[in-house]
Amino acid sequence: MISSQAGTDEKNDVIVEIQPLGRGEGIKIEINSPVKKQFGRQIESSILDVLHKRGIEDVKVTVHDKKALDFAIRARLEAAIDRAGGEGVEASQNSAVCAG
């Protein structure tokens, strides 16, 4: 897996960056959002859900949120994973993949 990102800096969108970490370092999530207090836990939960479904561990995910909806965050993360070489389990049929 290589570092990658997906998304735009537009209003109601999100930029998601993914970087591989060393084996055993786990998942690190950094969220930059004007609505982090209200929705930070939900954003983190969505990110973890996508990563676990794809079987991905030992990555750093950085989210630059511009008040994106949950489906957009998930789609941008899926796109970043695919661009990075997408190790792990295939995305579920319910997951959207959106390039940005």
Q: Going residue by residue through the chain, which has 100 residues, state the pLDDT in tens, using 9 for 90 and above.
A: 899 999 999 999 999 999 999 999 999 999 999 999 999 999 999 999 999 999 999 999 999 999 999 999 999 999 999 999 976 534 333 334 444 4
In this prediction, residue 97 carries a pLDDT of 41
As a whole number of angstroms, the distance between CA 19 and CA 13 comes to 20
Burial group, residue 29, by CB count within 10 angstroms (0-12, 13-18, 19+):
middle
pTM across the whole model? 0.83
In this prediction, residue 87 carries a pLDDT of 62
* Dihedral of the alpha carbons of 69, 75, 81, 87, in degrees to the nearest 10: 120
In this prediction, residue 90 carries a pLDDT of 40
